[in-house]
Structure 1
Amino acid sequence: MDPALGPPEEMAEKRDELTPMMRQYHDLCARYDDALVLFQVGDFYETFCGAAERTARLLEITLTSREDSTGEYPMSGIPIDNAESYIETLLEAGYRVAVADQVEEPGETSGVVDRAVTRVITPGTLTEDELLASDDNNFVAAVAHGNGESPAPRVGDGSRTGGTETLALALLDVSTGDFLATSSRSPDAIADEVSRFDPAEAVLGPNAPRDVLPEECMVTPFDAAAFDRERAASLLSRYYGHPDALLAEDAEIRACGALLAYAEYVRGGEHAASAGSDDEAAPVTEPADPDERSRLEYLTHLTRYDPREYLLLDAVALRSLELFEPRAVHGRDDATLVGVLDETASALGGRTLRDWLRRPLLEPDRIESRLDAVEELTGAVQTREELHDHLRDVYDLERLIGRISRERANARDLRSLRATLAVVPEIRQRLVDADCDRLQRLHDELDPLVDVREAIDEAIVENPPIEITEGDIIADGYDDGLDELRATARDGKQWIEDLEERERERTGIDSLKVGYNSVHGYYIEVTNPNLESVPDDYERRQTLKNSERFVTPELKRREDEIVGAEERADEREYDLFCEVRRDVADEVERVQALANAVATLDAVVALATAAAEYDYCRPEITDTDRRSGLEIDIEGGRHPVVERTQESFVPNDARFDDGRRLAIITGPNMSGKSTYMRQVAQIVLLAQVGSFVPAQSARITPVDRIFTRVGASDDIAGGRSTFMVEMDELATILREADERSLVLLDEVGRGTSTADGLAIARAITEHVHDEVGATTLFATHHHPLTELADDLQAAFPLHFEVEGVDDEVVFHHEIASGAATGSYGIEVATAAGVPETVVERSRELVDGTASAADTTGTARDIDEFERVHTGRDPAAAGGPSPATADGGDDPTDIAAELRALDLGHLTPVEALTELDRLKRMLEE
């Protein structure tokens, strides 16, 4: 346990001697011993002892001290009005935060003010707008086994620990109420789903595998009993009825029930569960009686989904295709696919668009339904623009109704809901004449909730204050009792306003003033020179340097009347506001249904806007029966991100079918190979999202999964080299890809020797072609692989056109059939600014002018590859070399070999070895 958490040792030893307030702090720290307790004292949240020292350093605030009869304690505090910014820093430092608020008014108790934890803030359970990204979900996850025990490990397949038993994943966004569940017998499949949704936090069932979660995901210890099947089912039934009707697996019930229990715990309150420690051996303890939990009324829907219903994108593919984050460390934030497409006007639409990108569709009918809506709005420019303008006035309905249901909404939140509901009729009107079924359904689903809007209008003033306990939030005429109290206070204040003039006339003191302060209340002030004229009924209240302040019996009576009426009015307003808020919360399902419709419409409008602005076309979705092979036929395709960041972009075609499904792509670095492969994958993905695509035309068969092995990276912390990471990713592809997959391979085999790398690359190519059958784009500098196009029926070579001009390389970025004539490594090195001495030395090696003494090295690697894969032994005396095996030492063959050399990927020793081999070819 972090020493800054838990009950302070110096307090624990003398708990019974502590002051009542410090005893409260000690007990809350003991109860929430996995969290840093922020303890309200007046207008500040305070921490004490070790927690104070830690927070003072982390938050860069002053460390002070508190002294009482039991000793002196370090103390540091943050202002409540600005707490969120400090809490964000604590969360980023890896802490959970328990907020202990005063739950009594100081003036209403004779003893110490009672405090209770009202919420526990963790990375995965944030509900504060200031701490949340508005355009994306923030999930907390739960992972559980079917019987709560770890299954037998699989052996020999290189996958994560797991077996034949079901593993379930539950995901909950506490701020919006989105609640999802799925399961699989493969831990790898669960890990892929975790990658899709990227939860910020997770709770794990007994012996559930940690390695299905990314390293950066916070794992919170939670009571194993929460994963008990009966307890989980009981809790789920309180929300959704019998769980067997919703969930297909025992493991799903355990995961969902435990996640609900955790969500209730972090809500806080008198009956919240106490927290556990950072030590997994000391988990939290749930309350035995489930009825003691605080029900989260806005969690109205639990959706079970099958990952096989969507195109699968694992963590590697999400990174490689730059869906949400740029690959470059210093890349532009908008240099992502979502950055290009996100023309949404509301937070609702932004989250929905991201969900569509995470989970592209497989079912052609669902894809066509979205495409129909996008196409209609793409052509209806005025309607699209008017919809966008109205959607900009929509507040975040999901999070609004969440706050309202959790009783954390203020009057301004209700007015924001009312403002959104006022826009809905305008949005519906723009869809009255819609042609496609999807837009017609959206029109019908846009319930304006007139009754809710009118109720808020009637009850809440137009511009209410933030505070809900200080009055001025309920409209005049809404409640007779409140109106009477306001009238009493108003009449009293008018009497006091007239008092000054009356008393001046009565006393003859022209400088007499009537005033008010929060300490002494109302008073009559008379300057010292006029004290002799003060009437006998004046009672002295306060003496100042130059004046005296007085009251009269009537003024005191009126003051009591005014203050009493105002206090009762404030209390009445608060009660009325809470009543209105509860009434609105009762309509949570209607508000959520409206939010879903608005979010869908906003996402469709965004896709239509991108299609119109960037000249995208509607893709044709083929092979609706999914019996034949994949077809990808793209004419004039463009990379949607690169074309937005470059001044010009060269479109290229891509054609794949059952007879052409493995493209071997060659060409120098910077020619466009990686961009081309990614653009094909992104166009396919966009088509399955239901978006128009950057191309002149496109025919797409939905693919089940996109695999990528693109770019060099290592895992130093995990003890894996770049080559090991590459091989691990390749193992996943070869194990899991099939004929319905799209595979991108870039420079496989470059992390080892030339012979080993070429051998691995060739073996993988043959295996993908013969055994996997996936549609594959393989970019390589191993030029001998292009010869496989003659041996493998469905393989074909492609290359990028380049031109060498005066020691410079000109990239045309145009793809063509056949193999590249070379890699132009020296020209690329020159353009990159490699020192001239290195460039010249490289040219000497290529031109054959290097000394014979320089040509010793690793010829054995090359010779071994040739013996294995060509049947020839160039090292044998008199044996033919590869270039002369068909009849002599034709200089043309040697020139071709030189052009085919990939100097950019040869070490100096390997380059010398190649040069020696070519020289021996001439000599022979």
Structure 2
Amino acid sequence: MPVSKLIGFALSKLEPSRLRMTLTAPLPQSEFDEPNQDEAAVAAVGPQDEAEAAPVGHITPVMQQFVEIKAANPDSLLFFRMGDFYEMFFGDAEVASRALGITLTKRGKHLGEDIPMCGVPVHAADDYLQRLIALGHRVAVCEQLEDPAEARKRGSKAVVRRDVIRLVTPGTITEDNLLDARRSNYLASVARTKAGAEGAGDRFAVAFADMSTGAFRVLEVEGGGLAAAIARIEPRELLIPDSIIGDDDLKPLWRQSGAASVPTPRAFFDGATAGDRLAAYFGVASLDAFGRFTRLELQAASAVIAYLDKTQIGQRPPLDPPAREGETGIMSIDAATRANLELARTLSGERRGSLLSVIDRTVTGAGARLLAERLAAPLTDPEAIRHRLDAVDLFLREPALRADISRRLSAAPDMARALTRLVMGRGGPRDMRAIGEGLEAAAGVLRRLAEIELPGEEIAAALASLASAPHGLAGDLAAALDDDLPLLKRDGGFVRTGYRADLDETRSLRDESRRVIASLQATYVDLSGIKSLKIKHNNVLGYFVDIGPNHAAAMMAAPLNETFIHRQTLANAVRFSTVELGQLEGRIASAGERSLAIEMQVFGELSAAIEREAAAIKRAAEALAVIDVASALATLADERGYCRPKVDDSFAFHIEAGRHPVVEDVLRTEGQSFVANDSDIGPSAETGAPDGGRIWLITGPNMAGKSTFLRQNALIAVLAQMGSFVPAKSAHIGTVDRLFSRVGAADDLARGRSTFMVEMIETAAILNQAGPRALVILDEIGRGTATFDGLSIAWATIEHLHAVNRSRALFATHYHELTALSERLERIVNATVKVREWKGDVVFLHEIVPGAADRSYGIQVARLAGLPPAVVDRAKSVLAELEKSGGSAPASLIDDLPLFTAARRAPRREEAPEDMPKVLEMLDGLSPDDLSPREALEMLYSLKAERLREKRKAD
């Protein structure tokens, strides 16, 4: 294709609305000449009139280069390096200026319109990249690949060679300031195989890799498990085959994932070449050494590798070999349940207020990421859970050890991410120091924990990894690296003085040239005996010896003429050079370049040493994260009074004095205490069904704590199976394989789903998937429709859970009629939230007790919420009429409109209190600050009882 057509096509792709280029008018050449001051320009350009007189289709070489590179990267903003700036033009400039809040300028005109342009300084590019990536943009970084002086050798109009060296995308960043230290940064891919009509029986594979740490895993799930898998992984970027990205059934999943969705060519997922691509990447003949993978898993993993090859352009991220995750071994938690329980973030999307934010006491970024990973994927193997709990128990019993380990860990940088940057050639001196300090911390932790006789299997495994770390490398790095390090290696000055003699010499020449020249001058004065001798410098002779004319004869005679070479005679001075002075001048002139070259050589040697030990360093980093998590969970248990749960393979679920960890944390900050409650939904001897749980049917008013009780039991199960102590007096939990939560109200208007439809979809998922080992919490099923419809749905749901699912379940409802089910279904247990009434108001005691609520107290809650008194009074009268008529609205009620009468009615005055000497005496002896919540409640009951006695006496 002719260049003119290629450029026209490329420009038309940049911004279709503005850049339909016909090439009938040339671009003004001078507008795109690279400025010499930033070393981007290497070609002499013609004057403006010559550019305008150019033939049709002409375009400046620099702009031609920009357009060609942009055409090859149409989906990315192009950071086009021009000297000290990354420049953007046309549509890229408009997008970037809006996203970054930077000024949009112009550079030349095209077809009579200004050409938009904006730029960012190279030294501050990371800050701008961070903002663009956070907004979901992709950026192609185009660098100068040669020195401008080299380009000049090719001719006056030669252009510096440039090309894209890297595509920066949300899932492939490695820079420390672009990453969240406490969150993994996964790039994931999804592959599908269809196995039936209308998607029935479809299977999916998900591969996910964190390029910043090297973690790489793959799993295969049934169609219904895809959403749960993606919700657990929380990828930043999701590779989706072209063939399924437009699938109407899957589109909501891509949107709800929160990841940047990338349409990916089918060739990336080619099953015929997937195994070979993976084997070639990891340098093995066969993948058998890494485990057995299905064809679908290989396709997903191959797509990740292919995408990394594309975006990293020649760089090979140091990924771990892929590790296969099975569908068993991890508690399955679907996306709706994760959202309802607010495990890692609240419903508003914030981390603050989530379970993770409340339990996180880690002191390292790697530890925080591991804690989040364990919370997202609780285990189902009691033995593996026990190992984790043993590690927490160890640190809980040894507070002094825990404090010492925490102090040492807090000094450990993020070795895994620093290692990745160094191996990929993106690291700097500070990354090397991070490796050194991390290894020093690892050695300290190893020495401290080696004193423990029985550390438990998890800590013992961590100790073995720490013992194999290259601790000698830490000393080498400390000896080589200066205390004050630059961010970039190209800045130099990071090698410690005394590490390399030749470097010290060149630095001395560079930094202390005056002292060196003065020393040489003193030597020449002594040698010649001429006290007025001076060493001077100019641009013609360089360094030279300057003396007065009266000393010239002596300098030109033996033996001084063997050292001093005559160069120039002036009226009032004679100048000489020496071999030493000439050599010194050369060394001084190149000292800066040679100094940096030596430092780069040292950097390369240290990088190579680090890369040779990469596997051991990575294992040590993982071990420190494991120790950090165990220590942090022990700190949490100590601070909050958590207990060690008993987790086995039974169907038990017995919690004594359980508490909601997040609500308790909020109440604690407000100086209040949490009311603990028991729960027991495991099988009982009375039911004679050891293979299934019981269903607690919980009634009571809104605001009384039903939803809190439901959630706290689910969170206790999650904490226990992730390997944490739990907020309870005691806990015995038979492993939960699937956790389901239908709590709260939400709609999905984008898909035309009402709140009730969403509720029914989530309920259907539970009834279709829950088994005897599942834990189900359901809140107010059927409330989004007509009363009798809702009651019927709730009734049938309970019967299905009881007879088919046989799951352990907590079911909160306002339908009191459902409590009758306990009389004929042996595994239904009625429970209610304890309340008290006081002068028409309801007092919430937040205690779960056996029995059933006799009413919902809805009107009392409405009154507490601040509904106008007229509305409350009208609601009471309507309720009374409905209760008389058995739930149907009588004609008299419809015809009567007493609401306005109630609004006009004067408010009732409270009767004047009678003399209450006994009550007043009790109040006088009361010290509220000394009362516990329970004592205060009991005192309130006592005051009420005394008041009733006083009234009876008066009557």
**TM tier, smaller:** 0.7 to 0.9
Secondary structure of 2:593 counterpart: helix
Secondary structure of 1:57 counterpart: helix
What is the aligned counterpart of 1:50 among 86, 91, 111?
91
- In structure 2, the CA distance between the partners of 1:490 and 1:715, relative to structure 1 (3 Å rule), is closer
Shift in Å at residue 446 of structure 1? 1.1
Identify the range of structure 1 (63-72 vs 370-379) with the bigger mean alpha-carbon deviation. 63-72
Could you give the per-residue CA deviations for residues 348-372 of structure 1, whole angstroms, max 9, x where no partner exists? 1000000100110111100111111
1:124 aligns with 2:149: no
Q: Which amino acid aligns with 1:63?
A: L
The aligned residue for residue 121 of structure 2 is 79
The residue correspondences of 1:670-685 to structure 2 (distance < 5 A) are 670-685=703-718
Distance of 1:653 and 1:230 partners within structure 2 = 56
1:808 aligns with 2:848: no
Shift in Å at residue 662 of structure 1? 0.6
Q: Which amino acid aligns with 2:893?
A: T
1:97 aligns with 2:139: yes
Secondary structure of 1:352 counterpart: helix
The aligned residue for residue 229 of structure 1 is 271
Shift in Å at residue 732 of structure 1? 0.5
CA contact (8 A) 1:432 1:440 kept: no
Greater Cα radius of gyration, structure 1 or 2: 2
- In structure 2, the CA distance between the partners of 1:70 and 1:401, relative to structure 1 (3 Å rule), is farther
Secondary structure of 2:715 counterpart: helix
- In structure 2, the CA distance between the partners of 1:352 and 1:499, relative to structure 1 (3 Å rule), is same
Q: Which amino acid aligns with 2:782?
A: G
1:336 aligns with 2:354: yes
Shift in Å at residue 340 of structure 1? 1.4
Q: Which amino acid aligns with 1:35?
A: S
The aligned residue for residue 464 of structure 1 is 485
Identify the range of structure 1 (732-741 vs 495-504) with the bigger mean alpha-carbon deviation. 495-504
Shift in Å at residue 84 of structure 1? 2.5
Distance of 1:364 and 1:307 partners within structure 2 = 16
What is the aligned counterpart of 1:637 among 654, 658, 671?
658
Q: Give % identity.
A: 36
CA contact (8 A) 1:5 1:34 kept: no
Could you give the per-residue CA deviations for residues 286-335 of structure 1, whole angstroms, max 9, x where no partner exists? xxxxxxxx432x21331110132101111111111111112367x7x432
Shift in Å at residue 419 of structure 1? 1.1
Distance of 1:70 and 1:823 partners within structure 2 = 73
Q: TM-score, normalised by structure 1?
A: 0.80
Q: TM-score, normalised by structure 2?
A: 0.77
Distance of 2:272 and 2:890 partners within structure 1 = 80
The aligned residue for residue 113 of structure 1 is 160
1:577 aligns with 2:603: yes
The aligned residue for residue 234 of structure 2 is 198
Secondary structure of 2:802 counterpart: helix
Identify the range of structure 1 (464-473 vs 714-723) with the bigger mean alpha-carbon deviation. 464-473
Shift in Å at residue 19 of structure 1? 2.9
1:769 aligns with 2:798: no
What is the aligned counterpart of 2:333 among 313, 319, 331?
313
What is the aligned counterpart of 1:243 among 266, 280, 287?
287
Shift in Å at residue 432 of structure 1? 1.6
Distance of 2:493 and 2:278 partners within structure 1 = 40
- In structure 2, the CA distance between the partners of 1:439 and 1:92, relative to structure 1 (3 Å rule), is closer
Residue-pair matches, total? 791
CA contact (8 A) 2:442 2:466 kept: yes
Shift in Å at residue 22 of structure 1? 2.0
Could you give the per-residue CA deviations for residues 626-659 of structure 1, whole angstroms, max 9, x where no partner exists? 5xxx210111111111101012110000012223
The residue correspondences of 1:833-912 to structure 2 (distance < 5 A) are 833-848=866-881, 853-856=891-894
What is the aligned counterpart of 1:348 among 366, 373, 384?
366
Q: Which amino acid aligns with 1:565?
A: A
Shift in Å at residue 52 of structure 1? 1.6
CA contact (8 A) 1:169 1:181 kept: yes
Shift in Å at residue 818 of structure 1? 0.9
Distance of 1:247 and 1:704 partners within structure 2 = 24
1:698 aligns with 2:731: yes
CA contact (8 A) 2:146 2:161 kept: yes
What is the aligned counterpart of 1:153 among 170, 173, 197?
197
Distance of 2:348 and 2:369 partners within structure 1 = 24
- In structure 2, the CA distance between the partners of 1:398 and 1:807, relative to structure 1 (3 Å rule), is same
- In structure 2, the CA distance between the partners of 1:10 and 1:487, relative to structure 1 (3 Å rule), is farther
The aligned residue for residue 104 of structure 2 is 63
Identify the range of structure 1 (14-23 vs 439-448) with the bigger mean alpha-carbon deviation. 14-23
CA contact (8 A) 2:11 2:21 kept: no
- In structure 2, the CA distance between the partners of 1:664 and 1:852, relative to structure 1 (3 Å rule), is closer
The aligned residue for residue 674 of structure 2 is 649
CA contact (8 A) 1:4 1:54 kept: no
- In structure 2, the CA distance between the partners of 1:458 and 1:777, relative to structure 1 (3 Å rule), is same
What is the aligned counterpart of 1:382 among 400, 418, 427?
400
Identify the range of structure 1 (490-499 vs 255-264) with the bigger mean alpha-carbon deviation. 490-499
- In structure 2, the CA distance between the partners of 1:757 and 1:567, relative to structure 1 (3 Å rule), is same
The aligned residue for residue 40 of structure 1 is 81
Distance of 1:123 and 1:55 partners within structure 2 = 16
Shift in Å at residue 4 of structure 1? 7.7
Secondary structure of 1:309 counterpart: coil
Distance of 1:490 and 1:848 partners within structure 2 = 97
Shift in Å at residue 202 of structure 1? 1.3
Segments of structure 2 that go 5 or more residues without pairing to the other structure are 1-9, 28-56, 153-157, 545-565, 688-692, 896-955
Distance of 2:506 and 2:608 partners within structure 1 = 24
CA contact (8 A) 2:97 2:103 kept: yes
- In structure 2, the CA distance between the partners of 1:566 and 1:89, relative to structure 1 (3 Å rule), is closer
The residue correspondences of 1:129-144 to structure 2 (distance < 5 A) are 129-144=176-191
- In structure 2, the CA distance between the partners of 1:520 and 1:359, relative to structure 1 (3 Å rule), is farther
- In structure 2, the CA distance between the partners of 1:579 and 1:782, relative to structure 1 (3 Å rule), is same
Identify the range of structure 1 (16-25 vs 234-243) with the bigger mean alpha-carbon deviation. 16-25
Could you give the per-residue CA deviations for residues 13-54 of structure 1, whole angstroms, max 9, x where no partner exists? 479733332222112101111111111111111001222223
Segments of structure 1 that go 5 or more residues without pairing to the other structure are 155-161, 270-293, 525-535, 541-550, 858-924
Could you give the per-residue CA deviations for residues 252-278 of structure 1, whole angstroms, max 9, x where no partner exists? 111101111101221135xxxxxxxxx
1:749 aligns with 2:793: no
The aligned residue for residue 260 of structure 1 is 305
1:370 aligns with 2:395: no
Q: Which amino acid aligns with 2:413?
A: Y
Distance of 1:199 and 1:539 partners within structure 2 = 77
Identify the range of structure 1 (113-122 vs 418-427) with the bigger mean alpha-carbon deviation. 113-122
Secondary structure of 1:802 counterpart: strand
Q: Which amino acid aligns with 1:170?
A: A
Q: Which amino acid aligns with 1:606?
A: A
Q: Which amino acid aligns with 1:53?
A: E
Q: Which amino acid aligns with 1:257?
A: S
